[in-house]
Structure 1
Amino acid sequence: MEIRKLQKTGGSTLIVSLPKKWIKKNKLDAGSEVRLLKQPDGTISIDPGQTDSSKKIATVRCNNEESQHLFRDLIGNYLAGSTEIKVIGSPRLTVKERKTIRKFSASVIGLEIIEEEATQAILIDMSNPGALPFRTAIKRLYKIVNAMYNDSILILEGSEDLAADVVDRDTEADKLQWFIERQFNMMLENSSLSRPLQASAFEGVVYSNVARYLERIADHACRLAEIGYVAGLIPGRKMLPLAKDAGKIMENSMKSFINNDPRKATVVIDKGKKTIQKAQKYFENRYKKEMEHPLEFSIAMDAIVRTIAYSTDISEAAINYSAKIGNK
């Protein structure tokens, strides 16, 4: 961080000089226009106004590797904020590589295949950052995750047919979480995105973290869904109430975050800690006895406890957010 003094010119106008390295890097000169962007937190950022700087091109070279390796490379470039990804074959793209590229395009928001040849494929970002601000994206992600978790509870109660649908919806949760993380990374490199995304850099960090917590809850909803029907057959009356308590804690944690309510967040954290202790005690006592399906029981209880833990993380984020931003 550089500290510069304001100087007075013309009797009443205050000016500040800009760093020479920044001027040179952005190819500016006397008479060049820059944009002053007021941030949600009250600070001001200076945008050199060069639209080309927002374009980020990445190249991925295929070497007949495992399809999952190519998929990870593509996801990595997507999260880094690449607006164009060129995938080059060696010497040409295989059928498996083409399928992986199409799977990737279908798994993310914004990047579409606009050119596909024998030796390469090009994906271009067709999304508009302002079309889905952080707050809107987080709300959508929560709705998906909450529905997944509630359906996993229904599976515990005997609705086995919902399991495959819960797992399928995890793809949509991943897609939104990746999109939020990508938007945050892009905003760090291009401060002008702060306005359409309706968030400061600090708020971007918080939203990115909360999105990650929700995505992990979605993963545990899938785990619960996959074994929930069998786990629900295990004698005992405490697992289902604990699972419902976890869902309620998640719901209240998100309310505390969305409504900027640190007091409610504190209550949720206290409730979460007590419920985790209760769940762990129940698990230890129940596991000492002989039972059917011990593996499914362990997986179900672990999913419930971790759902509570990630929910309290969201409440922690709500408290930190409120302390920084205050009540708007």
Structure 2
Amino acid sequence: MAEYNRRVQLTGGATFIISLPHEWTNRNNIKKGNAIQIEDLGNRLVLRKDSSSRDEITRILDIGSNTPKEAIHRALTSYYIAGFDNLIVRSSSYMDEKARSEIKSFSKLVMGVEIFEETAKSMMLQNVLDSSSFPMTKAFRRMALNVETMITDTLRVLEENDIELRKSVISRDDEVDRYHFYMMKEVMKKSAEDHSVIFLLLLSRIMERIADHTVNICLFLEANDEERHDNIDSDIIQYLKSSNDLFMKCVEQYNRKELATLNSLIETRKVIIEGRNEIRARVSGNSNLLSSSIAEEISRIGLYSIDIAEILMDMVLSGVDEAKI
């Protein structure tokens, strides 16, 4: 990323002006009369070519008749994160139903992508979501709410052995992934202009992992349907409630950003580890592998929640030169 120094000039007695770097104007095809967007980021100004006049980004993915669906999914995800307006997936021969199904499944997994055109040998995906109408902060809050609901519903699954709710929790992991992929895409686009968005990406990744551990609990229960729920250690439910409370308190600090509170949340790490160890020690003699496995997943939820508090502290202190704790 190039840096340029410009001396501020005064014109008309009240207007400050600087010249635009010649290399930047050439690279972005800036002409006299073009509109330039200016974003105020406190002690920085970010200039960009008017988005209404930018060139569309079209990407092309060629696949073979035997390309594994996993490879197709990985490539589509990478292109989505890199950003595109149009993505053409094409095959030299007739595109089989497995490939089409994977492409359609992908378009439902990520946010703002629709199938625009389909032929015998190709499919065109189009990004129809204006990210300015759905900022990253809003995506973060939606993602946090989804994860909180998944944890709360997992508590109900443990308490009531609700099989349908258990299936619902497992299926909702895809919704969390949707937000995570969207956050990755937006960070790719904005990180050069605003380094603070990196913190949002880290928070998004942690919440995606918390959702995964919540799903793991439901998968363990599903795989052990024959085991009575009253055989699960009596402290498991309270342990998950405590981890959920910790998660909600940490996420709440995204808005509050109170250093003293963040410090106290971070210091609960020892309590989370002790809770896990107590349950595992108690069930180790009776071969209750289900309780031990669930306790491990709950501890990960708690420890990842503490990671959220640590990243928020990093986020707060990175933006100030003086702080009090």
- Both structures adopt the same fold (TM-score exceeding 0.5): yes
- Among 305, 313, 316, the residue aligned to 1:311: 305
> In structure 1, how many angstroms separate the alpha carbons of the residues matched to 2:109 and 2:147?
17
Q: Equivalent residues in 2 for 1:59-70 (5 A)?
A: 59-63=60-64, 64-70=66-72
- Tell me the distance in 2 between the aligned counterparts of 1:98 and 1:38: 41
* 8 Å contact from structure 2 (residues 9, 17) kept in 1: yes
Partner of 1:265: 262
Indicate the larger mover: 3-12 or 101-110. 3-12
Partner of 2:44: 43
> Structure 1 residue 86: deviation in Å?
0.3
Residue 59 of structure 1, CA deviation = 0.9
Alignment length (residue pairs): 313
1:212 aligns with 2:205: yes
Corresponding residue number in structure 2 for 1:221: 214
Runs of 4+ aligned residues of structure 1 deviating over 6 Å after TM superposition are none
Aligned to 1:289: 285
Query: 1:320 is aligned with what amino acid?
Result: D
- For 1:178, which of 158, 181, 185 is the aligned residue? 181
Point out where structure 2 has 5 or more consecutive residues left out of the alignment: none
Distance 1:82 1:204 in 2: 20
2:236 corresponds, among 239, 249, 258, to: 239
Matches within 5 A, 1:109-148: 109-148=111-150
* Preserved CA contact (<8 Å) 1:153 1:244: yes
177-186 or 48-57, larger mean C-alpha shift: 48-57
- 8 A Cα contact 1:115 1:121, kept in partner: yes
Ranges in structure 1 where 5+ consecutive residues have no aligned partner? 192-200
Cα deviation per residue 1:65-97 (whole Å; 9 max; x = unaligned)? 111211111111111112211000131211111
Task: Spell out, residue by residue over 1:152-192, the C-alpha distance to the aligned partner (whole angstroms, 9 max, x if none).
Answer: 12222232322101011111111121112212222347x5x
Relative distance call for 1:50 and 1:225 in structure 2 (3 A) is: closer
Amino acid in the other structure paired with 1:128: D
Do the aligned residues in 2 keep the contact of 1:246 with 1:308 (CA within 8 Å)? yes
Q: TM-score, normalised by structure 1?
A: 0.87
The answer as to whether partners of 1:4 and 1:16 remain within 8 angstroms in 2 is no
Displacement of 1:303 in angstroms is 1.1
Report the equivalent of 1:276.
Answer: 272
For the structure 1 residues 232 and 314, does the alpha-carbon distance in structure 2 shift closer, same or farther, using more than 3 Å as the test? farther
Please tell me the residue identity of whatever aligns with 1:204: V
Residue 36 of structure 1 deviates from its aligned partner by: 4.8
1:86 partner amino acid:
I
Secondary structure, aligned partner of 1:18:
coil
Q: Residues 230-285 of structure 1: CA distance to partner in whole angstroms, max 9, x if unpaired? A: 584435332222111111110100011132223222221112x1222213421452
Moved more, 44-53 or 229-238: 229-238
Question: 1:91-106 to 2 correspondence within 5 Å?
Answer: 91-106=93-108
Q: Work out whether residues 6 and 14 of structure 1, in 8 Å CA contact, stay in contact via their aligned partners in 2.
A: no
**Offset of residue 112 of structure 1:** 0.5
Deviates more, 1:242-251 or 1:201-210: 201-210
Taking structure 2 as the reference length, what is the TM-score of the superposition? 0.87
Distance across 2 between alignment mates of 1:79 and 1:136? 18
1:317 deviates by 1.9
* Sequence identity percentage: 20
What root-mean-square deviation, in Å, do the aligned CA atoms of Structure 1 and Structure 2 show? 2.4
Candidates 237, 250, 253, aligned match of 1:253: 250
1:9-24 residue pairs with structure 2 within 5 A? 9-10=10-11, 12=13, 14-24=16-26
Residue 38 (structure 1) shift: 2.9
